[in-house]
């Protein structure tokens, strides 16, 4: 590695007080907005009727917790997923960026606790299938369709009691995700100490195993955590759709952290060609997300089957959610398509900062549209509570990722393809 002397391969990110201050300020603003939103909802009419049942402002709080739990869990696991992709694909260009991807995985144990706690506290306010009366044929609220799907949530327990099959899946998914993250992390850091090529081969093997498990678990988790909110409705594309949204948001977050570190004087070996490649990934998978969104929408629109079309009708025809359908499309397709189309735009930090920040916001809107209509109906919307919760979660995620990124070398210094990353040119 003749070129290695030009770079500090033992460089570590200094998580300075000034950076922490910015994160704490944003988190503090978010907490203030969240409290103001809760007070406004509690004191200003956060009660009413929804679907024949009394609505309480806490349901909106729980819906927001669920939106951000699922969204930031996705960004975290995408960091691990993209890390594993580099090894499975035997990629060399991204060697200098591997530790950024890996740092996102530190959120997963926190996400697991937040998801489980939120579900146990708020399941009746989030999921209609958790109410026992929908399975009771003698009850006026009996639902034949939900009853038919009950075993997917409750087996082997009696339907309407304790959703053990659902809980077991959630625990298994998070358990294996955290296991694979820790395995990949420990091997990567061990490679820094020992060198050689054996760790690369071992990482490639474990990455391939993880990717197979992720392919299955990411789809089923999308059905469990999001699609089952609208229990009557289903889409065979939904697993892909949630993955696409997670992936674009995760790629945007990786790009933002990379650009941030470059602006701070780190990652000397990362050049405009690496930045260009990240921009291409964001651009390409924004198109992929749009393809999935339009495919799902067009098939349902064209078939015009009531039990399928109701999903989009209740969103498009709503004064609360209708405008956000178009915000979703503009932020997640029109903006990246037009701004990142040229080669130069994908190589300039200012464009990437703007677009990636708006994409992260845009895909939060995407999950907002997946969750709130089915949980809150006309009592939803974007207000102080939503903005505050997003800032709190975003700040917490950034703090966890950056604080752990600062504990190890920024560069996988003994990676056998480091030389290829030095000379990456497109």
> What is the DSSP code string of 150-188?
HHHHHTTSPTTS--HHHHHHHHHHHHHHHHHHHHHHHHH
Backbone angles phi, psi at 50, to 5 degrees: -145, 115
424: left (phi over 0), alpha (psi -120 to 50) or beta: beta
Quote the pLDDT of residue 199. Answer: 92
Q: How far apart are CA 220 and CA 208, in angstroms?
A: 19
Question: Residue 378 has which token pair?
Answer: 């006309």
Q: How far apart are CA 127 and CA 130, in angstroms?
A: 6
Q: How far apart are CA 308 and CA 321, in angstroms?
A: 18
Quote the pLDDT of residue 160. Answer: 83
Q: Running DSSP on this structure, what letter comes out for residue 331?
A: I
Per run of 10 residues, the mean pLDDT along the chain (length 426 residues) is 61 93 97 95 66 75 96 97 96 93 97 97 93 91 91 90 94 97 95 88 96 96 95 92 97 96 91 93 96 94 90 92 95 95 91 96 97 92 95 97 94 87 80
Quote the pLDDT of residue 425. Answer: 80
Residue 134: is it exposed, middle or buried by C-beta count within 10 angstroms (0-12/13-18/19+)?
buried
What stretch of H or E contains 300?
helix 272-303
The number of helix segments (H) and strand segments (E) in the chain equals: 15, 2
Quote the pLDDT of residue 391. Answer: 97
Cβ neighbours, 10 Å, residue 381: 16
Quote the pLDDT of residue 102. Answer: 96
Question: Residue 359 has which token pair?
Answer: 């994409």
Quote the pLDDT of residue 200. Answer: 92
């Amino acid at each position: 590695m003749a070129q290695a002397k030009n770079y500090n391969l033992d460089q570590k990110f200094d998580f300075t007080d000034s950076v922490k201050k910015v994160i704490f300020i944003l988190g503090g603003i978010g907490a203030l907005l969240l409290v103001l939103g809760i007070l406004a909802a509690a004191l200003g009419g956060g009660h009413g009727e929804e679907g024949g049942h009394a609505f309480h402002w806490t349901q909106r709080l729980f819906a927001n917790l669920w939106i951000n739990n699922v969204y930031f869990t996705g960004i975290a696991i995408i960091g691990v997923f993209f890390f594993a992709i580099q090894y499975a694909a035997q990629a060399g260009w991204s060697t200098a960026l591997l530790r950024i991807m890996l740092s996102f995985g530190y959120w997963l144990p926190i996400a697991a606790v937040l998801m489980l706690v939120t579900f146990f506290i708020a399941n009746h306010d989030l999921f209609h299938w958790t109410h026992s009366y929908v399975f009771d044929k003698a009850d006026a609220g009996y639902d034949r369709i939900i009853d038919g799907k009950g075993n997917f949530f409750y087996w082997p327990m009696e339907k309407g009691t304790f959703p053990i099959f659902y809980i077991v899946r959630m625990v298994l998914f998070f358990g294996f995700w955290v296991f694979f993250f820790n395995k990949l992390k420990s091997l990567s850091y061990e490679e820094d100490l020992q060198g050689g090529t054996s760790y690369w081969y071992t990482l490639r093997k474990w990455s391939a195993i993880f990717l197979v498990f992720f392919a299955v678990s990411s789809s089923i988790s999308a059905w469990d955590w999001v699609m089952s909110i609208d229990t009557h409705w289903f889409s065979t594309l939904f697993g892909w759709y949630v993955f696409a949204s997670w992936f674009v948001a995760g790629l945007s977050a990786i790009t933002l952290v990379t650009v941030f570190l470059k602006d701070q004087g780190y990652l000397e070996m990362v050049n405009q060609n690496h930045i260009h490649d990240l921009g291409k990934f964001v651009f390409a998978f924004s198109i992929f997300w749009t393809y999935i969104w339009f495919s799902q929408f067009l098939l349902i629109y064209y078939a015009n089957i009531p039990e399928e079309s109701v999903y989009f009708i209740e969103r498009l025809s709503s004064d609360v959610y209708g405008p956000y359908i178009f915000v979703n499309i503009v932020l997640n397709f029109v903006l990246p398509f037009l701004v990142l189309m040229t080669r130069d735009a994908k190589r300039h930090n200012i464009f990437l900062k703007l677009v990636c920040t708006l994409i992260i916001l845009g895909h939060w809107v995407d999950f907002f549209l997946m969750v709130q209509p089915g949980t809150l109906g006309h009592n939803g919307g974007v207000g102080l509570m939503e903005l505050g919760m997003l800032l709190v979660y975003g700040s917490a995620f950034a703090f966890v990722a950056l604080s752990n990124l600062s504990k190890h070398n920024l560069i996988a210094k003994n990676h056998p393809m480091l030389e290829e990353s030095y000379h990456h040119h497109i």
